[in-house]
Structure 1
Amino acid sequence: MITEFRTSDAGMRLIGRLKAEGYITTHPSTEPNQNTVLIASLHAINQPNSPLGEGIDTRHLLCADVNGLLVCGVYMPQKTAKLPYWETLIAQARISGIDLLIGDFNTGNNDLDKDLKGSKFIGPEMPGRLIDSGYTDLWRSLHPGQREYSWYSCPGNNGFRLDYIFAAPELTRQAITCEFDHAPRLAGETDHSALVASLG
């Protein structure tokens, strides 16, 4: 799952490199200057008929069947614009049968998910409400009480955990590892750390 993907020349080069490695990709049709989500898989990708409803902008919530798993690539908009998308996931994701929600959720709680000096999140209750609907925050479930951040503000260098994998119960039971890979961010290839999970 690649968030903040753009259908620019750089984005098309990325797709080319993924295809050269055997990946199948899908993304919404967007303007080259719009951020969206790219799903890449070594298995077939089938896009269902809008399991979250027809009015959902797939730039922010892109669902696909990947090797029998219904996954949703998430790239939440900024500030209060993200709140309707959170409400949709909380109300619809479990009853729609989505197994994994993966991506940049652009919020967290105002305790462990941010530097103490960093700006407070808008909608800090949303991750907890999504968990109450039946999902598990895989990273947090394996790292209770730990602070680790996937993005840092500039200026300020305040850390925030913006990137998540939320799993339905049957997949949560299969979780072996869920770790941040900071190397691409530290190398300047991206401004977000990767989140990598292993499911049995």
Structure 2
Amino acid sequence: MQTIKLLTWNIRQGGKKAIEQIANSLEAHQANVMILTEFKDNPSGGYLKNYLQEAGWPYSATSHPQHKENGVLVVSRTPLKQLEPPFPNEQGSSRWNEVYIPHYDLSLLGVHVPNVNEKYDKAFHWEQIVSYAKQKTDEKCVVAGDLNTARREEKASAPRKYSNFIQTLENDGWTDAKKNAAQGAPGYTWYSNRKNGYRLDYVFLSPALNGNLLACHHSHDERVRNYSDHAIVTARLTI
């Protein structure tokens, strides 16, 4: 039995001018595996990958986002194997990054669900996540990233459309790490200039990892410093 620390963070449009601070922050958290959403395949993205490789995360996989598209980057201290997405780029496969990490015998899906006003179909992406989760019920598996969906019990102004899919994951035995660790207190991971805060970023653990969660934490310091408009989510579990 070993301990793994996971981290997921929406780095806001590829990091832009805050990319150095983002890289430094990620190094400071010392996670074993990191899932970064809104990654872009541009000079900032290249800088981030190179920095993390030299800092101790030599293994990485990107979702190959096209020009100016948002993608998902997964970096790891140990080797990983990337798997092909189950749907084509025309349906937003750059928002989907599935890897297998042999050292932990762990399947991991990094996702960035489109919002309702984006060109990709939000419901379709959620259907793909739920389908994937059903296939991984008996395996050690994590689904993490920006789900762009608030839980149904959160305030009325939150983006709760398709929150039924979150309930489906839980009904199927998946653990919402933050809800489990915080005894139901959701907190928020995204905060707007209008003083609206919603929990949009999640770590879900498969039924095979039930009882393995040690802690889940939201780090808001990076958001307060305006490196991104999202907080970092970390989860520690035995595996």
TM-score for the superposition, normalised by structure 2: 0.75
- Residue 118 of structure 1: CA displacement? 2.9
| Distance in 1 between residues matched to 2:172 and 2:156, nearest whole Å | 30
CA root-mean-square deviation = 1.9
Partner of residue 141, structure 1: 180
Q: Residue 92 of structure 1: which of 107, 124, 132 is its match? A: 132
- Residue 120 of structure 1: CA displacement? 4.1
- Residue 130 of structure 1: CA displacement? 1.5
**Letter aligned with residue 95 of structure 1:** Q
- Residue 182 of structure 1: CA displacement? 1.0
| Distance in 1 between residues matched to 2:156 and 2:125, nearest whole Å | 27
- Residue 119 of structure 1: CA displacement? 4.1
| Distance in 2 between residues matched to 1:43 and 1:58, nearest whole Å | 24
Quick one: structure 1 residues 133 and 117, their matched pair in 2 at CA, closer, same or farther if it must change by over 3 Å? closer
Paired residues, what number?
A: 194
**1:8 lines up with 2:45 in the alignment:** no
Quick one: structure 1 residues 110 and 132, their matched pair in 2 at CA, closer, same or farther if it must change by over 3 Å? closer
SS at match of 2:73: strand
Partner of residue 237, structure 2: 199
| Distance in 1 between residues matched to 2:62 and 2:140, nearest whole Å | 18
| Distance in 2 between residues matched to 1:117 and 1:94, nearest whole Å | 29
| Distance in 2 between residues matched to 1:160 and 1:136, nearest whole Å | 19
| Distance in 1 between residues matched to 2:133 and 2:159, nearest whole Å | 26
| Distance in 1 between residues matched to 2:129 and 2:52, nearest whole Å | 29
Q: Residue 71 of structure 1: which of 90, 102, 108 is its match? A: 108
Partner of residue 177, structure 1: 215
Query: 1 or 2, which has the higher helix percentage?
Result: 2
Partner of residue 123, structure 1: 162
| Distance in 2 between residues matched to 1:119 and 1:137, nearest whole Å | 18
Identity of aligned residues (%): 25
| Distance in 1 between residues matched to 2:67 and 2:211, nearest whole Å | 39
Quick one: structure 1 residues 49 and 35, their matched pair in 2 at CA, closer, same or farther if it must change by over 3 Å? closer
Gaps of 5+ in 1: none
Gaps of 5+ in 2: 1-34
- Residue 147 of structure 1: CA displacement? 3.8
Quick one: structure 1 residues 199 and 147, their matched pair in 2 at CA, closer, same or farther if it must change by over 3 Å? closer
Q: Residue 68 of structure 2: which of 25, 30, 33 is its match? A: 33
**Letter aligned with residue 85 of structure 1:** H
- Residue 190 of structure 1: CA displacement? 1.3
